Amino acid sequence: MPSDQSTWLIAVPHDGDAEGLLPEIATKLSQLSRSSSSTVAELGIPCFKTGTLDSLIALSEELPKQDAFFTSVVAKTVEALRNLLNNDPVKLAQHIVIDERSVDDYLLKGWRWNEGRYNIQRSLRETVDLLNKEMASIDNTMKAKLNNYNLVKGSLVQMQRKKTGNLSVRSLADVVSREYIIQDSEYLETCFVAVPNALKKEWSSRYERLTSMIVPRSSMLIASDDEYSLFGVVVFKRVHDEFVQKCRENKFIVRDFVYSEENIAKEREELSVADATEKELWTELLRVSRTNFSESFQILVHLKVLRLFVESVLRYGLPADYMGLAIKPDPRYLKKTFNVLTSQLNYLAPRSGRSSKKDKGGGEEFIGEYQALLEQEFYDFVLYEVPWIIY
């Protein structure tokens, strides 16, 4: 049974038996329930050049792999948009559009093959190669744009962490001002120590005795947060390493910081540039992702319609004239919807390559030289699915 989270694309021979099929199916689906939201629409399948039987068989073997690749590119593009928009379903719906139309409108309101872009006078192989080339280009563009954006975003996040972490790890450039610094002294220096708030009293009572040559009463509180308090203390340079070691033994963290107005200005400038660059790349990636979703989804649907044609020729033979249907099932009435289809299209059973006889094991006996090329789950009609975009 097809998925309840996809739109079904179906092909049947366009002959006398298919006359009135669309309104009949639409009527029966509407009768399932007053609350049923199942939708059925015509799907235009062109009369392509069929080519040789060998070429059709080769395409039938190749197209499932292309289908999987195309579907993955669409999914990755949607995921990129989802991440850029912080998984906001309202905003996502505004960008998951095809030429400013919703996915449902694109599929269910008069879908037609884009002959201006994919001339049906080309061979099927040429059309498949063109679709592959376009989708590969979209995939490569998305990878490059995403990698570039993620590098800049990662750098920005790292810079921001230095600004927003606790006082044991964050940058002190915006915390320590010149007034706390011993300037141009040959023997003295100011050390900055992050002290856990639970150890503030211990710091005050012990810092002067951690090592020799610490200036008495030089400890000064500079800043505090929920976890740490930052103190400045004046020590002789010659005992710096010993002082750091003693602090570490007492769970006090000496911050490696050299006050420099030039470095502070440089750090602020780098953060400003990174922030501006990230915003610029975010905007560009959003635009590209929106465009590429529209393009990749259209390419995917065109490939599926081409698959419908190829499998229909192999199954039903010539003339290669097929009617297409696009059905969006109501998940609540999935089985009933499928039963309507199988009932309406059971006249195709003798032409579908499936015998009405049963084998001795109770299973259906499949016949036909090309049965192995058909879908693993076999119906009397050709069916492929377009997964829904879940907001």
Mean pLDDT of 337-359: 71
Per-position DSSP letters for 251-284, written without gaps between them:
T-EEE-----HHHHHHHHHHHHHHHHHHHHHHHH
In CATH terms, is domain 178-258 a member of 3.90.76.10? no
SS3 391: coil
Q: For the chain, give me the number of helices (H) and strands (E)?
A: 9, 10
Looking at the predicted structure, is the pLDDT value of residue 68 above 70? Answer: yes
Region 364-370: mean pLDDT is: 42
Confirm whether 6-153+278-387 and 178-258 share one CATH topology: no
| Helix/strand/coil for 327 | strand
* N residues, the chain: 391
Give the per-residue pLDDT at 374.
43
Is the Cβ–Cβ distance between 175 and 267 less than 8 Å?
no
Q: In the structure, what pLDDT confidence band is assigned to residue 4 with cuts at 50, 70 and 90?
A: confident
Which residues on neighbouring strands pair with residue 220, listed in sequence order? Answer: 232
In sequence order, which ranges of the chain are alpha helices (DSSP H)?
A: 21-30, 53-84, 89-95, 103-108, 124-164, 200-206, 240-249, 261-316, 334-344
Q: Give the per-residue pLDDT at 366.
A: 41
Strand order in the sheet with 6-13: 39-43, 322-328, 6-13, 382-387
Q: What is the pLDDT of residue 360?
A: 38
Per-residue pLDDT for 76 more than 90?
Answer: yes
Note the pLDDT of residue 367: 39
For 140-144, 229-233, 248-252, 343-347, which range has the lowest pLDDT when averaged over its residues?
Answer: 343-347
pLDDT of residue 162: 78
Mean of pLDDT values over 337-353: 81
Please write the tens of the pLDDT for every residue from 100-138. 999 999 999 989 999 999 999 999 999 999 999 999 999
Percent of the chain with pLDDT over 90: 64
Q: Give the lowest-confidence range in 24-28, 166-170, 240-244, 365-369.
A: 365-369
Mean pLDDT within 278-286: 96
Place of tokens 């009572």: 205
Quick count: other Cβ atoms within 10 Å of Cβ 173?
19
What's the average model confidence in pLDDT over 173-194?
90
How many other CB atoms are found less than 10 A from the CB of residue 161? 12
Predicted TM-score (pTM) of the model is: 0.79
| Cα distances (angstroms) measured from residue 52 to each of 46, 124, 269, 280 | 18, 10, 65, 51
**How high is the mean pLDDT of the chain?**
88
Q: What's the pLDDT tens digit per position in 303-319?
A: 999 999 999 999 988 88
CATH code for the structural domain at 6-153+278-387: 1.20.1460.10
The domain spans of the chain are 6-153+278-387, 178-258
Confidence band for 156, pLDDT divided at 50, 70 and 90: very high
Task: Examine the pLDDT at 289 and tell me if it is beyond 80.
Answer: yes
Q: What percent of the chain has pLDDT over 70?
A: 91
Read off the tokens for 358. 């049963």
